Structure 1
Amino acid sequence: MIDKTTTAENALAKLKDGATIMVGGFGVPGTPFHLIQTVLSTGVRTLTLIKNEANEAGLGVSLLLEAERVERLVTSHLGLNQVAIRMMNEKALKVDFFPQGILADKIRAGGAGLLAIVTDIGINTFLRREEDVVTVNGCEGMIEPALRADFALIHAAKADRAGNLVFEKSARNFNPLMATAADIVIVEAEQIVETGSIPPDQVHTPASFVDHVVPIGELSQEYGVLQHHVR
């Protein structure tokens, strides 16, 4: 029987300086705080992070920013993190902004094996990039390259030992997409059950996308609003 459970340290053993990491979550829900702390403890630097936002100062991926471990952040917004905004303005952090839906679709495309998507979002604004403008069926659009990563760090409410995943409500957010778009997918799970105990039609992400499953144990304070009963 396949058993992908391991420690966070073992799961991240191949992490190197300069890696690109996708991190699930939208604010607190779905953010893999345990795995982020382990990345911090490895001492790796010059990372590229892909995350919907930068969490709040002193929390989640902001800890990596504040420790100067991150060179580039690919994101949708920084409005909740004044530290990240200051670092960007001081050019201590490179930030690539994308509308949230475009960011999600770039990740989806990476997971589907596509090279890029074409979108008219931003075509008539200052976001227009002339070198990327194409015409499709008489309409102008911009080419947006797909996104992939070396690692994806995912939070799940439940996982079996083979890596089949169940997400809880809004904590699903970017996690299923990112689980398809990285070379090594590491999942932290609140509850780990025996393989076969999750009914197939309740699986949100199949085990074929998952490389490692890390038990969280008791939820720490960072998880806050995620205190819930996992069915």
Structure 2
Amino acid sequence: MNKVVDGAGAAVEGIGDGASLAVGGFGLAGVPGVLIKALLERGCRGLHVVSNNCGTDGRGLGELLAAGRIGRVTASYVGENKEFARQYLAGELEVELIPQGTLAERLRAGGCGIPAFYTSAGVGTLVEEGGLPWRYGRDGSVLVASPPREVREFDGRPYVLERSIVTDFALVRALKADIYGNLVFSKAARNFNPLAAMAGRVTIAEVEEVGELDPAEVHLPGVFVQRVLVVGETEKPIEKVTVRR
């Protein structure tokens, strides 16, 4: 039952070309940077990444993006990543942009074994009607567009059907773990990391420390986690530094 692995290379073992990955983090908070670098060194290509955003230029998932390793992104916004925008508009990258709350619930539903759900988010927009550009041609034409969503009324209100998300692997960052994979997250890192961890068939967590945990403080049960990598304290970059005069 000891899920602690020896080294980043062992942690990402089995991830190959074309794999789908749910990746935790919000901006640059709670991003599993050590695992992302290990994946970069592994040389995987054509990855399908599901994450709130795709890091920033040269940071987080932005490292894989800059190296041309990502083929498709499912996210809620482009964020502070010029290379992400460039690849998308140039037709080099397929991008599915969906409402942030819908993305969170699709990941959670995938982890809970719920195949689909109805939501009011996106009703009356291109989310419902279809036609959102997923992939552009090099001439600016739309090669792949989002399909229309099924709509159903409940109590007189329309709702669109959204499919849950389950990925081959999940990469997450936590503050603490025990050897069984129970995780505790720090502050903003708790936003998307637990949801991403739930959605992965094989979930890999990089953590600062491993030790005994009080059951009452566990944020994510170890049943969702298959591998734990101890990385210690690492750099925690800030997405956009602002100061007040």
Structures share a fold, TM > 0.5? yes
Q: Which amino acid aligns with 1:224?
A: P
Match of 1:79?
79
- String of CA shifts for 1:167-209, please: whole Å, max 9, x gaps: 111111111112111110000001111xxx2111011111111
Number of residue equivalences:
219
- Determine the structure 2 residue equivalent to 1:209: 224
Write the distance in 2 (CA, Å) between the matches of 1:77 and 1:184.
25
1:134 paired with 2:133, answer no
Residue of structure 2 in register with 1:37 after alignment: 37
Aligned equivalents of 2:67, 2:86: Cα separation in 1: 14
Which blocks of at least 5 consecutive residues in structure 2 are unaligned?
130-147, 239-245
- Report the CA distance between 1:50 and its aligned residue: 0.5
RMSD of aligned alpha carbons: 1.3
Distance 2:124 2:167 in 1: 30
Q: Secondary structure at the match of 2:168?
A: strand
Q: Secondary structure at the match of 2:127?
A: coil
2:176 alignment counterpart: 158
- 1:175 alignment partner in structure 2: 193
Q: Give the distance between the partners of 1:198 and 1:135, measured in 2 at CA.
A: 45
After superposition, give the CA deviation of every residue in 1:56-75 in whole Å (9 maximum; x if it has no partner): 10101011111111110000
Query: What amino acid is the match of 1:217?
Result: G
Distance 2:149 2:117 in 1: 15
Q: Distance in 2 between matches of 1:170 and 1:58?
A: 21
* Distance change in 2, residues 1:131/1:213 (3 Å): closer
Q: CA deviation at 1:11?
A: 2.1
% of aligned pairs identical? 39
Cα distance in 2, alignment partners of residues 53 and 206 from structure 1 = 25
Aligned to 1:229: none
When residues 212 and 124 of structure 1 are mapped into structure 2, their CA distance, relative to the original with a 3 A threshold, is same
Please give the TM-score of this superposition, normalised by the length of structure 1.
0.91
Answer with 164-173 or 137-146: which moved more: 137-146
Matched, 1:52 2:52: yes
Any residues of structure 2 matched to 1:111-126 within 5 Å, and which? 111-126=111-126
Supply the distance in 1 between the matched residues of 2:48 and 2:177 (Cα, whole angstroms): 27
Tell me by how many angstroms 1:164 deviates: 1.2
2:149 touches 2:162 (CA, 8 Å); kept in 1? no
Q: Secondary structure at the match of 1:128?
A: helix
Please, which moves more after superposition, 121-130 or 160-169?
A: 121-130
The structure-2 alpha-carbon separation of the partners of 1:101 and 1:62, relative to structure 1 and needing over 3 Å to count, comes to: same
* Structure 1 residue identity aligned to 2:93: L
Report the equivalent of 2:143: none
SS of equivalent to 1:35:
helix
Show CA shifts across 1:7-56 (max 9, x none): 22112211111100010000121100000001111111111000101111
Residue identity opposite 2:12 in structure 1: L
Normalised by the length of structure 2, the TM-score is 0.86
Once the two structures are TM-superposed, the CA of residue 108 in structure 1 deviates from its matched residue by 0.9
Residues 1:88 and 2:88 are matched in the alignment? yes
Aligned-pair CA distance for 1:131: 4.7
Q: How far apart, CA to CA, are the structure 2 residues paired with 1:56 and 1:14?
A: 26
- Give the structure 2 partner of residue 224 of structure 1: 237
Work out whether 1:3 is the aligned partner of 2:2: yes
